[in-house]
Chains A and B, each alone.
Chain A
Amino acid sequence: MNMAWMVVRRLFHAFVLVLAVLVLNFLLIHLAPGDPADVIAGEMGGATEEMLADIRKTYGLDKPIYVQLGVYLERALQGDLGQSFFYNAPVLDLVAGRAGATILLVVTALLFAIAVGTLLGVLASHKPKGIVSGLVTLVSVVGYSAPIFWTGLMLVILFAWVIPIFPIANMFDITKDTGFFGFILDVLHHLVLPALTLGIVYLAQYARLTRASMLEILGSDYIRTARAKGVAETKVYTHHALRNAILPVVTIAGLQFGSIVSGAVLVETVFSWPGLGTLAFESILARDYPTVLGILFFSSVLVIIANLITDLVYRIVDPRIRTGG
Chain B
Amino acid sequence: MTSLLTIKDLVVDFKTRAGNARVLNQISLELKSGEILGIVGESGCGKSMTALSVMGLVPSPPGKVSEGSILLEEEDLLQASNARMRQVRGGIISMIFQEPMTSLNPVFRVGDQIAECVLLHEDISKTDAWERAVEMLTKVGIPEPALRAKAYPHELSGGMRQRVMIAMALSCHPRVLIADEPTTALDVTVQAQIFDLLKDLQRETGTAIIMITHDMGAIAELADRVAVMYAGHIIESGLTKDILENPHHPYTRGLIACVPHLETDPTEVRPYLSEIKGVVPSLTELGKGCAFADRCPYKTPVCEERRPDIEPISEGHAVACHNVEYVVAV
| A interface with B by C-beta (< 8 Å) | 220-222, 224-233, 240, 243-244, 317-320, 323
Interface membership of B120, Cβ < 8 A: yes
A229 and B90 in contact (CB under 8 A), knowing A222-B104, A317-B107, A319-B154?
Answer: yes
Counting from the closest, the 4 A-B pairs by CB-CB distance are A229-B90, A230-B90, A230-B89, A221-B102
- Docked complex Cα distance between A318 and B152 (Å): 10
CB–CB A229/B89 < 8 A: yes
Nearest opposing residue in chain B for A323, CB measure: B155
Nearest opposing residue in chain B for A217, CB measure: B105
| B interface with A by C-beta (< 8 Å) | 55, 57, 82, 86-91, 94-95, 97, 99, 102-109, 116-117, 120-121, 152, 154-155, 165, 168-169
Nearest opposing residue in chain A for B92, CB measure: A230
CB distance from B230 to the nearest CB of A (A): 25
CB–CB A319/B86 < 8 A: no
A229 and B168 in contact (CB under 8 A), knowing A221-B102, A222-B102, A224-B97?
Answer: yes
Of B86, B88, B107, B117, most A-chain CB atoms within 10 Å: B107
A-B contact pairs, 27 of them (CB 8 A): A220-B102, A221-B99, A221-B102, A221-B103, A224-B103, A225-B97, A225-B105, A226-B105, A227-B57, A227-B89, A228-B57, A228-B89, A228-B94, A229-B89, A229-B117, A229-B169, A230-B86, A230-B87, A230-B91, A231-B86, A233-B82, A240-B105, A243-B105, A243-B107, A244-B105, A318-B106, A323-B154
CB–CB B116/A229 < 8 A: yes
Nearest opposing residue in chain B for A247, CB measure: B107
Taking CB atoms, residues of chain B closer than 8 Å to A323 are 152, 154-155
Nearest opposing residue in chain B for A225, CB measure: B103
**How many A-B contacts at CB < 8 Å in the complex?**
73
CB distance from A222 to the nearest CB of B (A): 4
- Docked complex Cα distance between A224 and B120 (Å): 16
CB–CB A231/B116 < 8 A: yes
- Docked complex Cα distance between A129 and B313 (Å): 50
Nearest opposing residue in chain B for A318, CB measure: B107
CB–CB B105/A232 < 8 A: no
- Docked complex Cα distance between A311 and B90 (Å): 37
Further pairs besides A224-B103, A233-B82: 16, Cβ < 8 Å: A221-B103, A225-B103, A225-B104, A228-B55, A228-B89, A228-B94, A228-B95, A230-B90, A230-B121, A231-B120, A243-B105, A317-B107, A318-B106, A319-B154, A320-B154, A323-B152
A232 and B86 in contact (CB under 8 A), knowing A221-B99, A227-B57, A319-B152?
Answer: yes
Partner of A230, one of B99, B103, B117, B152: B117
- Docked complex Cα distance between A317 and B87 (Å): 30
Nearest opposing residue in chain B for A220, CB measure: B102
CB–CB B165/A225 < 8 A: yes
Taking CB atoms, residues of chain B closer than 8 Å to A232 are 86
CB–CB A222/B105 < 8 A: yes
CB distance from B62 to the nearest CB of A (A): 12
- Docked complex Cα distance between A226 and B104 (Å): 9
Taking CB atoms, residues of chain A closer than 8 Å to B90 are 228-230
- Docked complex Cα distance between A34 and B169 (Å): 73
Nearest opposing residue in chain B for A240, CB measure: B105
CB distance from B244 to the nearest CB of A (A): 30
CB distance from A270 to the nearest CB of B (A): 40
CB–CB B99/A229 < 8 A: no
CB distance from A319 to the nearest CB of B (A): 4
Taking CB atoms, residues of chain A closer than 8 Å to B88 are 230
CB–CB B107/A319 < 8 A: yes
CB distance from A95 to the nearest CB of B (A): 39
Of A225, A229, A244, A317, most B-chain CB atoms within 10 Å: A229
- Docked complex Cα distance between A282 and B125 (Å): 62
CB distance from B8 to the nearest CB of A (A): 23
- Docked complex Cα distance between A229 and B86 (Å): 8
Taking CB atoms, residues of chain B closer than 8 Å to A318 are 106-107
